Amino acid sequence: MEYEYNASCSPAGKICGQTKPGRGPAGGGPPGGGRPAGEKPGSENNFSKQKLEILLKGLESFVQKLSLKKIKTTWDDYYTGTILGDDYLIAKTALVKTFTSDLEYGHVIDLGANDGHFSSLFAPGIQVIATDADPNCINDLYLRSRQDGRANILPLVIDFTSPHPIGWNNTERNPSHQD
C-alpha cells in the first residue's frame, strides 16, 4: 500500500493513503455497507506525523548499525604495505599540496581515491567526490569522514574501467562488449 504525506489532509497533518481494496466509494465495502468489525471511524489510512517520525528514526537506527562484510582486497593496505614506503607518501602529499595551493576551486574529484588520504587534504569548504573501485577503501573513507565530521567528502564506489550497462532497461551497452 502506498502512502503520501500531505499536511493539508487534516489539521493534525495525517498520512493519507490509498483506500484499501473493497473499501473505497466505488469498492463496495463489506456486505451491508459500513466498516468491518473492530474498525473505528476515521481510521482509514491515517498515520500521524509522530508515528511516521518514530518509524523513520527506527529505520535510521537500523541502517546505521549495518556494516559491510570486509573481504580482503589488493588495495586494502596500499598506504601501509603496498606503496614504496613512507617517504613516497610524504613526497606525494607535499606535491599535491603544492600543486593545489595556488589554485582557486570549490570542487574536486579524486579518481582512484583509495582510502581518501588525498581527498582529506582539502579544506572542509571544498566539495570532494572520492571514487574508487574497491568497496573496502571507500567504506573506510565513508566511516572515517563521518567520524571526523567531514561532510564535504562524498565517497563513491565506481569502477571506471568497467562501466555498468546503460540506457533503456540497461541494455544499450553490455559490459562484455568492447566499444
Structural domain spans, the chain: 3-64, 78-157
* pLDDT class of 82 with cuts at 50, 70, 90: low
Alpha-carbon torsion angle 10, 12, 13, 19, nearest 10 = -50
Mean pLDDT, rounded, of the chain: 76
Residues facing residue 129 across a β-bridge: 109, 154
Express each pLDDT in 134-148 by its tens digit.
Answer: 999 999 999 999 999
Confidence of residue 12 (pLDDT cuts 50, 70, 90): very low
Residue 83 pLDDT: 67
| Superfamily of domain 78-157 in the CATH hierarchy | Vaccinia Virus protein VP39 (3.40.50.150)
Reduced to 3 states (helix: H, G, I; strand: E, B; else coil), residue 109 is strand
Nearest Cα to Cα of residue 154 among 102, 109, 91, 99 = 109
Cα 172 from chain centre:
26
